[in-house]
Structure 1
């Protein structure tokens, strides 16, 4: 058997995502911490690539790519991210999705901030031709230091799913399904050593149109720096949808590793 790999992806059902690559300092100065980035802070960029290829008794291909950009000022943060995953075994596609995300946070006091968030997901193995979401709300900085951050937030938004095949969702056979959703979220980042950092984010999205239904999204990631530009990355993603449609799994998970590069 021949195998080559930039990284490894171990996948449950589809819907892979990789946690954010960029770890940026807090936007406001805390005494003893890093200096203020200023209102004209530069953009920061990161990208990660991982995959594997085998041939012989089993022919398989796996590839995951992630790109992220962030612009930080003294009182705001704009984050843009794109993530893609593809897997094929014996000429049969076993996973394929593309995820786009943008979020803007702006502080209106030392501890409180407002946010706006847009998401788009394409995942045919999960019967999602296109899922689009828009949310807005407020959040609170529970912890804000140069080495540790922890935010909690909540808000409202709207999500619309368009399906690859008609799905039995919310008691009816549908080609698409739109609904108002709430969002309750917490996220944190931690610098464990000079070279090692971790991040995690949990979001719960209750369906306000169909009581009792909800989605859960959890991402966790580890980054170990090789030098100032390169790092080894690992991530785990968990997705739960209480009403994805008949014949579609409620839970999607993915493990990924890869090599990341950062630049300003």
Structure 2
């Protein structure tokens, strides 16, 4: 990842003091959605739309987590239309507690990012995790496992096979109205698959009822990309959202 990406991630994380908020194990769905965009017209025209969403349902025995990020952009200059962003990544994970600290998980993820050289990518994985912090106000997990990834690129090439993953995720409560969530996953070099890493972080401040002001960062690094394509994609958003 670039230094800018790491700096943005640090800014999001260290905006919060060391107070974390755990998913409430009440068997109900909790999460949020944020949307931002721009529209311009004149000698040139452009439109962009970005969205981030996450949701989870936790009990004393297990947890279901869902997440998604999307980014679409298009510019028109001198009558020529160009797609500048075309990203959609969705995934989910099921955690089952093996005791007070350990848990087993299984997950799946799908992605398309044609502007970034990925026609489609699908992953299935499973493994073990550990609750580093877990009480009424703390949640921070680390996890590792093994999965299978199938990638097809816009240049017609493809790669698939087994791949290790390691990661961590946490949920932070900055104040009674502001929360921070972040998730980082690293896939070491898996032969023809190449190394990958994803970082997603979001800061939400409640302004009225369930409505929020949001700042989000999504960064994706891939070692293997088609020729002429950058290895790192960064998406920094600011907009409105709804938290439930």
TM-score bracket for the superposition, by shorter chain length: 0.7 to 0.9
State how far apart, in whole Å, the 2-side matches of 1:238 and 1:68 are.
16
- Aligned equivalent of 1:205, options 187, 207, 215: 187
Tell me which moved more, 41-50 or 247-256. 41-50
Q: Is the Cα–Cα contact under 8 Å of residues 130 and 161 in structure 1 kept in the other structure?
A: yes
Q: Is the Cα–Cα contact under 8 Å of residues 180 and 207 in structure 1 kept in the other structure?
A: no
Cα distance change, pair 79–141 in 1 and its aligned pair in 2 (3 A): same
The structure, 1 or 2, with the larger RCO (C-alpha pairs under 8 Å, 6+ apart) is 1
- Does residue 74 of structure 1 match 2:60? yes
* Residue 220 of structure 1: aligned partner: 201
State how far apart, in whole Å, the 2-side matches of 1:98 and 1:210 are.
23
How far the C-alpha of 1:113 sits from its partner, in A, is 0.6
- Aligned equivalent of 1:58, options 44, 50, 72: 44
Q: Which runs of 5+ in 1 are unaligned?
A: 1-11, 13-18, 28-35, 167-173
What's the TM-score once normalised by structure 1's chain length?
A: 0.78
| SS of residue matched to 2:111 | strand
Q: Which runs of 5+ in 2 are unaligned?
A: 6-11, 13-19
Instruction: Give the number of aligned pairs.
Output: 223
| Residues 23-172 of structure 1 mapped to structure 2, 5 A cutoff | 25-26=22-23, 37=26, 41-90=27-76, 91-166=81-156
| Higher helix fraction (1 or 2) | 2
Tell me which moved more, 61-70 or 214-223. 61-70
Q: Is the Cα–Cα contact under 8 Å of residues 108 and 122 in structure 2 kept in the other structure?
A: yes
| SS of residue matched to 1:219 | strand
| SS of residue matched to 1:165 | coil
What's the TM-score once normalised by structure 2's chain length?
A: 0.83
How far the C-alpha of 1:147 sits from its partner, in A, is 2.8
Q: Deviations over 1:180-207 (max 9, x none)?
A: 1100101112101111111222111013
